[in-house]
Amino acid sequence: MKAAANLSHLWPELPYLDRFDAASEAGFTGVEVLFPYDVPAKETQRALMRGGLQLVLINAPPPNYTGGERGFAAVVGREDRFAHDMRRAGRYAQALSVPMLHVMSGEGSGLAAKATMISNLKAATRSAHNGLMLTLEPLCPQAQPDYYLNDYALAAEIIAAVDAPNLRLQFDSYHAQMIHGDAVEVFRKYRDLIAHVQIGDTPTRGAPGSGDVDFPALFAEMRDFGYDGWVSGEYTPGPSTKDTFGWMKML
């Protein structure tokens, strides 16, 4: 397993581009940025090269600067907007050699939202450039009220219905624990679908070891399964990010 740092959460006291240097100095080789679209891709690329880092994941869609909703995969009637945003996110991912793109569902409910999301994802997986993996991540209501994709079983159903080799599941220990009560069991149940792992503790999305998630058991389950992908720290670090990296020793 390889440790990555989510730069949208860690080192919040530093300017965006300085966080890449901090991650490299802390021993990370991979980083995530949820929404890197505010900064020209070439500036992010220079920061990555300076630290010998790989950008392993970004989110889609880009932020909605008009202040409206974010994420349209499951929003009935916004199929054109979804396709537009995916084209822009795909160009950004390609420019930065990002291998994974987390596709956000947006708000919605019911069978119409599910059918819309499946249809949109079928189109998105067909049009994605070679080497790009699309991921789905269920988000808990405490963090994203009214978010459509709020259950791991639902995510698994949608992935099965789309039936594309470049659509997989993104596991997040914080959301899994908040939604289903046992992050270890969620990983065990859906491990065959998982392409990427993020970690944070419950109930406040603090650093691993600060709350309810059994991280020794989770990492043991991941090792036993043979998971060898990225494990990204996506949590609120508190006053000192550098003091929260004990979890890296458990990988």
Give tens-digit pLDDT for 105-164.
999 999 999 999 999 999 999 999 999 999 999 999 999 999 999 999 999 999 999 999
Find the CATH number of the domain harbouring 181: 3.20.20.150
- In this prediction, residue 61 has a pLDDT band, given cuts at 50, 70 and 90, of confident
What tens digit of pLDDT does each residue of 166-212 get? Answer: 999 999 999 999 999 999 999 999 999 999 999 999 999 999 999 99
What tens digit of pLDDT does each residue of 2-14 get? Answer: 999 999 999 999 9
Q: Which residue numbers are catalytic?
A: 137, 234
If one counts every other C-beta atom within 10 angstroms of the C-beta of residue 76, the result is 13
Answer whether residue 67 shows pLDDT above 70: no
Alpha carbon distance 5, 28 (integer Å): 7
| CA 150 to chain CA centroid, nearest Å | 14
Looking at the 3D structure of the chain, how many domains does it have?
1
Alpha carbon distance 23, 242 (integer Å): 9
pTM tops 0.75, yes or no: yes
Q: Which domain holds residue 180?
A: 2-250
Tell me, what's the pLDDT at 65? 56
